[in-house]
Amino acid sequence: MHITAAGIEGARKWDAMVYREHQQTDRFRDPPPDADPWTGLAWNFSPPDRDEKDLDPAVNVVETYLDPGDTVIDVGAGGGRLAIPLARRCARVVAVEPSPAMRARMDAAISELGVDNVEVVPERWQDADVPVGDHVICSHVMYATTPVLPFLEKLHDHANKRVTVMLRERPPQANFHELFERLFGEERIALPAMPEFRNLLESVGIKYDLHRLEDRPHGMFPNPEAALRRSIQRLFLNPGSASAKRLAEILPECLVPDGEGVRFSWAEPQRGWLVSWSTE
């Protein structure tokens, strides 16, 4: 990577977006509990079963860049949704994941599926001391990453061959923005996502391959109770708080039937993208 004035300015813009979103969140959120924020959500990031049903579409794209003897570093590996399928396609995976809830889900999957070539590192990427690998991947992690430039440099510098990053067109909470605005009466500030990341890569002179991933349903729930639980989590509220009680009052008018479940009336599918670049 060649850091220029344009790259520094691109990173400043990214960091400012994250800072403004966090400031707004902190003004309205309930006092955060001591528990891991991913408790109760980690199952969403589980790997597919032995038959690889519900395989993340990113796996097939990443596989085209892999050699059988490669080591893959999965930054923010979550519950192993990518790490475990990729472990069947390369020599070794180093899964860097700070969340205890996510690691518990990944450890259980490693045991259940009999995978023996995944090393789990219980650290944030910024703090992790791991050797260089061949291919570094980072799936849906960077939305709230700041400062972004050292994070990006570490991704680049730890890959002998290639870096691959997956992000959505809009941040993961995008379909909850309208709900936030109805609850708090203020326009929701968005985190950066793939458009801003592509701008950042271009500002530091990285030429990348771009792949469109299939849309994923979003803002859909099996029932209103599940919609309320997820909305409380996504708006950083505590069950039983004044804000959570008000949310329960306004949520029914926001939901419409969708098959056997419900969805936000404004819900849109999440459009996914994958960018990959050579470090050789």
Q: For 73-127, write each residue's pLDDT tens digit.
A: 999 999 999 999 999 999 999 999 999 989 999 999 999 899 999 999 999 999 9
Calpha distance 61→152 (Å, rounded): 21
Average pLDDT over residues 166-177: 95
pTM of this structure: 0.91
Top pLDDT among 48 and 92 is at 92
Structure confidence at residue 41 as a pLDDT band (50, 70, 90): low
What lies within 8 Å, CB to CB, of 255 at 6+ separation is: 221, 224, 227, 262, 263, 264, 265
131-168 pLDDT, tens digit each: 999 999 999 999 999 999 999 999 999 999 999 999 99
Structure confidence at residue 45 as a pLDDT band (50, 70, 90): low
The pLDDT assigned to 38 comes to 65
Calpha distance 123→128 (Å, rounded): 5
The residue type found at 264 is: F
Tell me the CATH number of domain 5-217+270-278, given options 3.40.220.10, 1.10.3210.10, 3.40.50.150, 1.10.760.10: 3.40.50.150
Calpha distance 271→257 (Å, rounded): 22
Mean pLDDT of the chain: 93
